[in-house]
Chains A and B, each alone.
Chain A
Amino acid sequence: MKIAVLYGTETGNAEMLAEDLAGELEGDHDVSCANLSGFDPAGFDAGTFYILVSSTYGDGDLPASAQPFAKAVEAKAPDLSGIHFAVFGLGDSEYHETFNGGGEKLAALMAARGAVQVGERVTHDASGPDMAEDLAFPWARQVIEMAAGLVGEDA
């Protein structure tokens, strides 16, 4: 499957995870990995499955590198129907009420333009005991399996 891993980050944790994830999936799929800061929402392609990895900042907001993307999606309002995506969030439960607000906002942003979310949104907790990759790798295999029959179907 064609997979694009796109990340939003501030201190690099999401970037490291996205790169690890791309490396992990590379053997079985055609994988690319890029920062959301350089991604043009006009470039979404129905033949690709998008795995979005994003941390959370401010008060449950998107991290700096995902902000231009979010603004562009809001401004250009692209039609994303037929696009399939999954979201893996990074957050810190120390920030209680806004835990993983970034991943949540990103998912809502995509869904509002008609894109279809595949699988559950899973969040890594920086204050928790798990390594991000230990959560993300099995999750990714699962969402990819779910996406297999969907991506590019009626593109």
Chain B
Amino acid sequence: MSRRVAILGAGPSGCFVAQALLKARPDLRVDILDRLPVPYGLVRYGVAADHQGTKAITRQFARLFERQGARFFGNVTVGRDVTLEALREAYDAVVVATGLSTDRRLGIPGDDLPGVHGAGRITRALYEHPDAEPLPPLGPRPLIVGNGNVAIDLLRLLAKTSEELDGSDLGPGPTAWLAGSGIDEITILGRSPAAAARFDAVMLKELGRLSGVSIAVDDLGTAGTEEGARTLEALSALHGHGAGPRRIRFVFARRPIAVEGDGCVSGLLCIAPDGREERFPATSILTAIGFDGETATAESGAAVRMAPGLYGAGWFARGPRGTIPDNRADAQALAAVILADLDATPASSSIPGDVLACLPGTVTYDGWTRIDAAETAAPPAGRCRAKITGRAAMLSLAAAPDEKETQP
């Protein structure tokens, strides 16, 4: 009988682990669970709506289910619908790839004032995650804290004109929210000097094609490394770009010390490089400084065996750092460890039956293809997809036609 592997979480890490396992051993039984009715994790709910090319990676993942025999069990929450213990009994190996999703707080006085929002909260709402909180008003002067690609994603989406969002899968609610934002100026502020900013140069270049903005970059400073020099080059090319009505201002080397405001955000107090205090007025503050869970200990590239037959992958194991390619490399290393462990342990003869097949309300891969078809069949003008946003609607679309008929 073929050995069984359960993977919790159908994000890129879970899918890449499945891919590497099945490439080496096509006979493995690989089951991928997700608490959402839909697969692909942050590829669907984190990667920017206007970066459809990056999302095209789901074509690889679709193959897992369409050709390589993996099974999808959506709408299954481990701990509620099935226990981890039951899964560990029923499978030779269990891989936890559930990601991490809590925004890291600024950790300074005032960081809980109304008007301070984590980037994860905002992006989940923008991309219509079923559990997202509503999109909040940002006012005319939002300030983004952070020097990574998520900060740039937010900046770009807030800065784009409606036409520039053509081709994306941004939903009607978020589209209206952006169109009505009334933003005059966006400040993007980071602690590190410009040369140490973690922006990809290509992401900065993309900003240089925006039509409705005018960009100023303060305090370029100097670079000590080749990578830093590239970042500076891309930033200085942006300085002075455009004459559009929406002003964008990059500020570097400012250490935030307090969020100011009386009942609601009015600004951010920082320490400037010369040691003086400097105040940045803002009507809202969006923090894109990473996600909580930095306690996760695994080094990048290290395969994580948490207990015999129990493994961790991706952001769950490594902490919320790293891109999709990083997860692929890690997943391949982990799969090698799992396969070696499987070879070293005898197949159990008393494995219980299919614990997932009997769960009510699970969404199969076919169920997901029905949701996917409904989303892509007739998207509105300028959009490539119209996401189904609520769980109930997803579940009803996912239900097989004959199942629906038998329902009262």
Chain A residues near B (Cβ < 8 Å): 10-13, 16, 57-59, 64, 92-98, 125-127, 131
A12-B328, A126-B52 known, 4 other contacts, Cβ within 8 Å: A12-B57, A59-B230, A126-B56, A127-B52
Instruction: Tell me the complex Cα distance, A57–B51, Å.
Output: 14
A13 touches B19 (CB 8 A): no
Given contacts A11-B324, A11-B325, contact A16 B60 (CB under 8 A): yes
Q: Is B53 an interface residue (CB 8 A)?
A: yes
CB-defined A-B contacts under 8 Å, sample of 26: A10-B325, A11-B325, A11-B328, A12-B60, A12-B328, A13-B56, A13-B57, A16-B63, A58-B202, A59-B205, A64-B325, A64-B329, A93-B53, A94-B50, A94-B51, A94-B52, A94-B53, A94-B206, A95-B206, A96-B205, A97-B205, A98-B202, A126-B54, A127-B53, A127-B56, A131-B59
Residue of A12, A94, A98, A126 most packed against chain B (CB within 10 A): A12
A96 touches B201 (CB 8 A): no
Q: Is B228 an interface residue (CB 8 A)?
A: no
Closest to A126 in B: B53
User: Quick one: which of A12, A96, A97, A127 contacts B167, CB cutoff 8 A?
Assistant: A127
Q: Is B209 an interface residue (CB 8 A)?
A: yes
Residues of A within 8 A of B200 (CB): 58-59
Instruction: Tell me the complex Cα distance, A93–B51, Å.
Output: 10
Q: Mark B52-86, 1 if CB is under 8 A from A, else 0.
A: 11101101100100000000000000000000000
Instruction: Tell me the complex Cα distance, A96–B63, Å.
Output: 29
Q: Mark B289-332, 1 if CB is under 8 A from A, else 0.
A: 00000000000000000000000000000000000110011000
Nearest 4 pairs between A and B by C-beta? A126-B53, A92-B53, A10-B325, A127-B53
Q: With both chains docked as a complex, state the minimum distance between the C-beta of B169 and any C-beta of chain A, in angstroms.
A: 12
Chain B residues near A (Cβ < 8 Å): 16, 19, 50-54, 56-57, 59-60, 63, 167, 200-202, 205-206, 209, 230, 324-325, 328-329
Residues of A within 8 A of B53 (CB): 92-94, 125-127
Instruction: Tell me the complex Cα distance, A61–B118, Å.
Output: 32
Instruction: Tell me the complex Cα distance, A131–B202, Å.
Output: 24
Closest to A12 in B: B60
Instruction: Tell me the complex Cα distance, A22–B63, Å.
Output: 17
Residues of B within 8 A of A94 (CB): 50-53, 206
Instruction: Tell me the complex Cα distance, A9–B360, Å.
Output: 40
Residues of A within 8 A of B52 (CB): 94, 126-127
User: Quick one: which of B51, B60, B209 contacts A13, CB cutoff 8 A?
Assistant: B60
Residues of B within 8 A of A97 (CB): 205
Instruction: Tell me the complex Cα distance, A64–B56, Å.
Output: 19
Residues of B within 8 A of A64 (CB): 325, 329
Residues of A within 8 A of B59 (CB): 13, 16, 131
Residues of A within 8 A of B205 (CB): 59, 95-98
Instruction: Tell me the complex Cα distance, A13–B209, Å.
Output: 27
B60 touches A92 (CB 8 A): no
Residues of B within 8 A of A59 (CB): 200-202, 205, 230
Residues of B within 8 A of A58 (CB): 200-202
Residues of A within 8 A of B325 (CB): 10-11, 57, 64
Q: With both chains docked as a complex, state the minimum distance between the C-beta of A44 and any C-beta of chain B, in angstroms.
A: 26
User: Quick one: which of A11, A93, A96, A131 contacts B57, CB cutoff 8 A?
Assistant: A11
Q: With both chains docked as a complex, state the minimum distance between the C-beta of B17 and any C-beta of chain A, in angstroms.
A: 13
Closest to B16 in A: A12
Instruction: Tell me the complex Cα distance, A96–B50, Å.
Output: 14
Residues of A within 8 A of B16 (CB): 12
B328 touches A95 (CB 8 A): no
Q: With both chains docked as a complex, state the minimum distance between the C-beta of A47 and any C-beta of chain B, in angstroms.
A: 29
Closest to B203 in A: A95
Residues of B within 8 A of A12 (CB): 16, 19, 57, 60, 328
Instruction: Tell me the complex Cα distance, A98–B203, Å.
Output: 12
Closest to A124 in B: B56
Closest to A55 in B: B325
Q: With both chains docked as a complex, state the minimum distance between the C-beta of B158 and any C-beta of chain A, in angstroms.
A: 18
Residues of B within 8 A of A126 (CB): 52-54, 56
Instruction: Tell me the complex Cα distance, A149–B329, Å.
Output: 40
Residues of A within 8 A of B230 (CB): 59
Given contacts A16-B63, A59-B201, A97-B205, contact A92 B328 (CB under 8 A): no
Instruction: Tell me the complex Cα distance, A98–B51, Å.
Output: 16
Residues of B within 8 A of A93 (CB): 53
A95 touches B60 (CB 8 A): no
Instruction: Tell me the complex Cα distance, A93–B56, Å.
Output: 13
Residue of B16, B56, B59, B329 most packed against chain A (CB within 10 A): B56
Instruction: Tell me the complex Cα distance, A53–B329, Å.
Output: 19
Instruction: Tell me the complex Cα distance, A102–B293, Å.
Output: 35
Closest to B233 in A: A59
Instruction: Tell me the complex Cα distance, A59–B230, Å.
Output: 9
Residues of B within 8 A of A13 (CB): 56-57, 59-60
Q: With both chains docked as a complex, state the minimum distance between the C-beta of A15 and any C-beta of chain B, in angstroms.
A: 9
Q: With both chains docked as a complex, state the minimum distance between the C-beta of A19 and any C-beta of chain B, in angstroms.
A: 9
